[in-house]
Amino acid sequence: MSGAFIVDAHLHTGEHGPFFAPESGGRRLRSLMDRLAIERAILAGSWAALTRGGEAALADMRREHEESGGRIRYLGVFDPREAMESLRLLEKAKGWPGFQGIKLHPSFHRTPAEDPSYERAWSFAADNGLTILAHSWSPSEYNPVQALSLPSRYEGHVRRHPEVRFVMAHCGGRGSGRAEALRMAGTHPRVFLDLAGDIFCFHLLETLRNAVPEDRILFGSDYPWLDPRANISRVLLADVPDSWKRKVLRDNAIRAFALEERLS
């Protein structure tokens, strides 16, 4: 392929308090997208939307979409601790251009993924044909809240809402969550896994290709937490067929987020 063709299925924008990023706004993102042949991107919650929430943060993501000429799509963040307000905003955003689905982050929001308070978000996604992208990781000695986002914790919701396209971020992390994530992607036809984050395991692509159906793995960068170049290199130079690289870098994300369908 020539020109921009990659879909980055998981990134963020905004000034992030916990770490240094020299420039992390939409302008820098668009410049990097041009530089790295990224045609479209899924904004999985700005930092403000993930941490503070509110209408202004949602409106800012819509602005990012518009300033990108439609290349950046965005997800509304559902915080189960503020379920009614989150739903009100999702209801408002569902007709907005570029609105693509819902982001869940049980670890940030200190609420386990199986908690019934998430049911409103899953029902909303089912009723409106939206995709859910959720954080997933493995148990961590030094970051215990990761246990709230273990892949298997989502499985009850997935069973109750099999029609919802569900993307588990970070492939379940770098530990025991990985096997759970792979099992779920192999079991449920609408469960996808993304490569975002620092899951820099050696031969990851080669392993995933043999473990799950070929239409389930999505490229993601987790910008600006991480530089897209780290993960793009791993896909482009992996020892896997080019036809599968194309699926990972583009086709699978289009399907997982119904990008063409919602565009039309």
Partner 1 sequence: MHRLAFFDAEVWLGKPVGFPLAQESSRDVLVSALAALGITECCYSHWSGHSVSAQEGNRALLAEARDAGPRFHAIWTGLPLFPAEDGPLPGRSETPGSVCGVRLFPRTHNFPLSDWVVGGLCEWLISQRLPLLIWHEETGWDSLRALAVTFPGLTIVVETQVRKVFYHLRPLFALMKDCPNVLLETSNLTGIDSVAFAVHAFGAERLLFGSFLPANDPLAAMGMIADADMEEEEKRLVAGGNLRRLIEGRAR
Chain residues in the site for partner 1 (CB under 8 A): 18-24, 28, 36, 138, 142, 174-176, 178, 198, 200-204, 223-227, 229-234, 237-238
Which CB sits closer to partner 1, 86 or 231?
Answer: 231
Cβ proximity to partner 1: between 122 and 223 the closer is 223
- Residue 217: which H helix or E strand, with range? strand 217-218
Q: What are the CA-CA distances from residue 229 to residues 33, 42, 154, 208, 235 (Å)?
A: 11, 17, 30, 20, 10
Q: Which C-beta is closer to partner 1: that of 3 or that of 142?
A: 142
Q: Which is nearer to partner 1, 25 or 156 (CB)?
A: 25
State the burial class of residue 261 (Cβ atoms within 10 Å of its Cβ: 0-12, 13-18, 19+).
exposed
The residue among 227, 219, 230 whose CA lies nearest residue 257 is 219
Q: How many residues does the chain have?
A: 264
SS3 11: strand
Q: Cα(53)–Cα(237) distance, rounded to whole angstroms?
A: 38
Q: Which is nearer to partner 1, 76 or 173 (CB)?
A: 173
Separation between Cα atoms, residue 100 and residue 252, nearest integer Å: 15
Nearer to partner 1, 70 or 200 (CB): 200
- Distance of closest approach, residue 263 Cβ to partner 1, in angstroms: 28
Sheet holding 6-11, edge to edge: 6-11, 38-43, 72-77, 99-104, 131-134, 165-168, 191-194, 217-218
Nearer to partner 1, 65 or 178 (CB): 178
Of 27, 25, 30, the C-alpha closest to 12 is: 25
Least spacing, CB of residue 167 vs partner 1, in Å: 21
Would you tell me how many other CB atoms lie within 10 Å of the CB of residue 55? 12
Q: How far is the CB of 223 from partner 1 (least distance, A)?
A: 6
Shortest CB 205 distance to partner 1, Å? 9
Q: How far is the CB of 27 from partner 1 (least distance, A)?
A: 13
**Closest CB 224 distance from partner 1, rounded Å:** 4
In whole angstroms, the minimum distance from the beta carbon of 183 to partner 1 comes to 15
